[in-house]
Homo-oligomer: A and B are copies of this chain.
Amino acid sequence: MHSFKNDYSEGAHPRILQTLLETNLEQAEGYGEDQFSQQAAELIKAGLCSSDVDIHFLPGGTHTNLIAISAFLRPHEAAIAAGSGHIQVHETGAIEATGHKILSINTSDGKLNPESIKKVLAQHTDEHMVKPRLVYISNSTELGTVYTQSELIELSSFCRDNKLIFYMDGARLGSALCSAGNDVALSDLPTLLDAFYIGGTKNGALLGEALVICSDFLKEDFRYHIKQKGGLLAKGRLMGIQFIELFRDDLYFQLARHANEMAALIRSEIKNAGFDFLVDSPSNQIFPILPQRMIKELQKKYSFQIWAMVDEDHSAVRLVTSWATQKETVDDFIQDFQKLINMNDI
C-alpha cells in the first residue's frame, strides 16, 4: 500500500538527518537564539535578496498562521480568506480562537483577487461589523493552484491602497515556485507581501516553517507572540539546522521540483486518458475526477483522499506527491491505472 494522501508521510530528507547527527552534541543557545537558526536566517535572507526582513522558525503551519495573524491584528480586525483557505476550513477555528473573524470568499480555484475582496470591503462600513484588515492567501492553494506574478502584484497593490496586510501561507511554497508556468521568484516575495512563510514540513523537513516578516510595522516584539502561543521551541536548533540544509544550496527547490515532476507524470497520464480534473493545478496536488469503480480498485493498492463527490458515478480525488515519492511508485501507479482503463467495465 502506497500513500498519495499527503506530502508529509515520510520523515526528512536524509541530508537533514545527517546534519542533525553531526551537530548533535554541539551546545547551542535555547529558544531559537542558537548559531544554527541564525545561519539559516542568513541563508534565507540571501535567497530572498533581502537583508531587512525578520525570520522566525516555527513548528507548524497552523501554528504559524495563528501566531502571525493574532500578532498582526487588533481585536476588532478580521482576516479575509478564500472559502477553501486553510485557516477557514482546516485549522479548527484557530484564528477565531485568538479572537478574530475570518471573512470568507467563495472561489472555484482557491485564489483571491481584488474584485472579490472589494466586495467584502464594501460590506464592512462601520463599527457594527468587523474591520477587514488582512488578506490571507496560500500559494500553492489548497486546490493546488498557483498565483502568477501579475496576480500577486495586483493583490499587493490593492492591499497597499486599502491598508490591508497582505499575508501568504507558504506551506507548499516550494512546489508553487517550481510549478510549470510559475513566473514568481522567491526574491519577489518581500516586495509583494507584508509577511509570508516558507514551508519546511511539506518539503523535506521533519517540522518547521520559516516566517518572513517583511514590513517593519509588523516586526516589533514578535518573539513575545511566539512564546505566548507555545511556539518557541527550547531546541530551536532543530529547525535552524534543517533550514540550513534546505537553503545552503538548491535543496529546497530540488525537492519541490521532484514532487512536481512526479505529480506531472500522473497528471498527464490521467489527462491523456481523457479524464477531467476538478481544477487545473500545476503543483504537487492534483484532483482528477474518476469513476467510483476505478477509485475503489485503486484504493486496493494506494491510499489517497476522496475530495468531493462530483456526480453519482464520479468523485474528485486528491493525489499528492512529495520529495520522497519514488519514480518507481509513480510508474507502478500509472501501470495500474492503465490496466484499469483497459478493463471493459470502468
- Give residues in A with beta carbon < 8 Å to B: 2-3, 5-6, 8-12, 14, 17, 20-21, 23-31, 59-67, 70-71, 74-76, 78, 89-94, 96-102, 104, 127-131, 201-202, 206-207, 221, 223-235, 237-238, 324
Contacts and interface: CB of A to CB of B under 8 A. Distances in A.
Given A63-B231, A76-B92, 14 more contacts: A9-B30, A10-B24, A10-B26, A10-B28, A11-B25, A12-B20, A20-B206, A59-B207, A59-B233, A66-B229, A91-B128, A94-B230, A96-B100, A230-B231
A18 to B, nearest CB: 8
**Across the A-B interface, the 3 shortest Cβ-Cβ residue pairs:** A63-B230, A76-B224, A11-B24
Contacts of A28: 9-10
How many monomers of this chain does the complex have?
4
A138 to B, nearest CB: 15
A129 B11 contact: no
Contacts of A100: 93, 96-97
Given A8-B235, A24-B14, A324-B25, A227 B97 contact: no
Given A76-B228, A92-B129, A92-B228, A11 B235 contact: yes
Contacts of A202: 234
A220 to B, nearest CB: 9
A302 to B, nearest CB: 11
Contact of A90 (B60, B128, B226): B128
Contact of A207 (B129, B226, B238): B238
Given A6-B30, A230-B229, A201 B20 contact: no
A227 B128 contact: yes
B9 A62 contact: no
A232 B100 CA distance: 19
